[in-house]
């Protein structure tokens, strides 16, 4: 019974993997050497905005009970929220705090383990319909299985594995060291936890729209005492309506996520808004077709993409640049792509 359920969910998660004509099977990725360091990023190092703010006013990054302006912003008007609660940026401190938008007069609070900063947080009657792929990842079953087998299966499509992906992302994020990193569409927090444990960033925010994915992230955190009280926060939010002031974030990561977003253009434009000048955006996704896909089949590959926004590399580069990013660069292996860009 479990095997049948897993097969069904796997088919929904990655419909393209069943169309072998589009992405011919190549030798197992385990046989490949580790990716070489071919990254390109600006040689000029920009000091993270968060580091500059911290030297001027510690109360901004360490809010006190008196009610200080916080890193988080109202998802309705984007005004910074006022936080009342214990100082610190970790699970115990944040989720004993209350947040309020003075302009909208709307309050936000934690849901036991994550801070809900969606537009309809606190709504009692209204229920908003979401695309099927969004609802899929809100499923308790998919959330439970995601890091317990499904993510590992990405290797068959060219993904190098979480450890190597993390190392690749860290190379791209060097200009943002010491700053604030947001892991959008974080899933079960696989990379959020790695970023937090690295000690590279002053704050790490694991952000997802799925309540159950965030619950799984919390469960994994509870099992690791070294991370439970680290500078890692869990936030429920929409990637197309990020709850941060403009120009306040140093780095944004989106692992295997872009193809699941209802509108990649809205999401990437929003990512551009919240990044500071010089901020870095790094993302991985599945390519719809690759250089190995026969040219005669490429006009038909959109028809079988299902509900997912699978793109080709040229479309990704064009999309990122059209949303205002520069210094685009990428690494491709089979259907896997990791790309990076910076906000001017």
Rounded CA separation 16/23 (Å)? 8
* pLDDT value of residue 306: 54
Per the document, the length of the chain is 344
Question: If you search the block for the tokens 């860009």, which residue do you land on?
Answer: 341
Segments of the chain with pLDDT less than 50? 1-47, 49-66, 294-300, 302-305
pLDDT digits (tens, 9 = 90+) for 52-108: 434 333 333 343 444 556 799 999 999 999 999 988 898 888 988 999 999 999 999
Q: What tokens does 283 get?
A: 């993302």
End-to-end CA distance of the chain: 52
If one looks up domain 131-343 in CATH, what number appears? 3.40.50.150
Q: What pLDDT is attached to residue 22?
A: 38
Long-range contacts of 51-60 (CB under 8 A, 24+ apart): 51/178, 51/179, 51/202, 54/202
Quote the CA–CA distance of 148 and 136 in Å, as a whole number.
16
What is the widest separation between alpha-carbon atoms in the chain?
A: 65
Local structure of 309: helix, strand or coil:
coil
So where are the chain's domains?
131-343
Residue 117 has what DSSP assignment? -
* Among 294, 13, 281, residue whose Cα is nearest residue 153: 13
């Amino acid at each position: 019974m479990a095997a049948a359920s897993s097969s069904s969910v796997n088919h929904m998660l990655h419909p393209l993997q069943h169309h072998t004509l589009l992405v011919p099977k190549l030798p197992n990725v385990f046989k490949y050497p580790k990716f070489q360091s071919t990254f390109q990023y600006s040689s000029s190092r920009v000091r993270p905005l968060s580091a500059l703010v911290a030297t001027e006013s510690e109360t901004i990054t360490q809010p006190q009970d008196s009610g200080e302006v916080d890193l988080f912003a109202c998802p309705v008007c984007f005004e910074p929220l006022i936080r009342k609660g214990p100082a610190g940026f970790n699970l115990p401190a944040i989720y004993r705090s209350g947040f309020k938008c003075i302009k909208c007069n709307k309050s936000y609070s934690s849901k036991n383990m994550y801070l809900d900063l969606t537009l309809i947080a606190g709504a009692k009657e209204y229920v908003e319909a979401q695309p099927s792929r969004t609802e899929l990842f809100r499923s308790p079953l998919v959330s439970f299985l995601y890091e317990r087998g499904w993510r590992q299966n990405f290797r068959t499509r060219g993904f190098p594995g979480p450890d190597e992906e993390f190392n690749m992302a860290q190379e791209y994020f060097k200009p943002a060291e010491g700053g604030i990193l947001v892991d959008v569409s974080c899933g079960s927090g696989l990379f959020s936890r790695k970023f937090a444990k690295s000690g590279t960033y002053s704050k790490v925010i694991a952000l997802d729209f799925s309540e159950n994915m965030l619950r799984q992230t919390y469960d994994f955190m509870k099992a690791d005492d070294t991370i439970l009280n680290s500078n890692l926060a869990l936030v429920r939010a929409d990637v197309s309506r990020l709850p941060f002031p403009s120009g306040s974030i140093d780095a944004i990561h989106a692992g295997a996520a872009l193809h699941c977003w209802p509108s990649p253009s809205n999401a990437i434009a929003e990512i551009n808004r919240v990044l500071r000048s010089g901020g870095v955006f790094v993302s991985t996704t599945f390519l719809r077709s690759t250089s190995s896909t026969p040219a005669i089949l490429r006009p038909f590959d959109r028809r079988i993409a299902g509900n997912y926004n699978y793109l080709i590399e040229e479309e990704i580069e064009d999309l990122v640049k059209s949303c205002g990013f520069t210094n685009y660069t990428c690494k491709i292996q089979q259907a896997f792509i990791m790309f990076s860009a910076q906000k001017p």
